[in-house]
Amino acid sequence: MLVVPLGLIIGAVADAALTATLIARYPAVMRLDGSGPLLAVLVAGLVAVVGAAVVGLLVRGRLLRSAAATGARWGLVLGGLWSLEMTVANEWYMFGRWRLVLYYGAILSVAVLNVLAGALAAYRHRRILAGSPVGLWAGLVSGLVGLATMQLQALLTMPVLRADPQNVAEAAHTDLTTHIVSEQIVAGISHLVLVGMIAGTVLATIGALVGWGIRDASSVAPPASPAVR
């Protein structure tokens, strides 16, 4: 159980370091409107991750331990799918419209797997609330992966991002590089807080309702047939 919380803490520290490196390399991004509140949301998100990790270290309940371990495994899968979606969206623009199959396929797969994770947890533990923490922990892990992916793209593949026609068009009235860095940071924070923590928990809870309903229905014994005289 210690591996998962410690992994979250390491991931949060790594993401904070990546963001600091990105801002240090492109300091002009901090002069954009809304940069202060945006960083406040990032700090709040990372603090929430560390807080969840501390809870995971201190609480010994069987359900929480199971949710953390299961959610972390799902989170790695979801994080991989989000990394694929981000790569396709931001760096594979030269391949034309066919890339949209991978793009929307990854998004749909994430949604389906979130629901499935919650359903399986509720079915296994026979409790609706078992699905929500699985979705939360999966969202924490996948959110950290998504945030790191966006920051690494800006740090390592800026020439590719600068050649994207969509980025060029959107930055017509501002500095292209600063615009790209800002967009990458915003998207990464959104994946951590909105997509990972919030949407992941909601979808898993919906799945939990389904899984609990299936379990409840399957546990009801059919009425006995009247004896034939």
User: Do 127 and 212 meet the contact criterion of CB atoms below 8 Å apart?
Assistant: yes
pLDDT of amino acid 225: 52
pTM, rounded to two decimals: 0.90
pLDDT per residue over 17-76, tens digit each? Answer: 999 999 999 999 999 888 889 999 999 999 999 999 998 888 877 888 888 899 999 999
Using 50, 70 and 90 to split pLDDT, how confident is the model at 107? very high
**Which H or E run contains 211?**
helix 200-219
How much is the average pLDDT of 137-165? Answer: 95
Q: pLDDT-derived band of residue 221, with 50, 70 and 90 as boundaries?
A: very low
Could you list the beta-strand ranges (E) of 124-187. Answer: none
Surface-to-core class of residue 228, CB atoms within 10 Å of its CB (0-12 exposed, 13-18 middle, 19+ buried): exposed
203, 111 Cβ separation under 8 angstroms? yes
pLDDT averaged over every residue in the chain: 89
Q: What is the mean pLDDT of residues 13-20?
A: 96
- Of 90-94, 130-134, 145-149, 171-175, the least confident: 171-175
Say how many C-beta atoms besides its own lie within 10 A of residue 191's C-beta: 27
The H or E element spanning position 187 is: helix 176-190
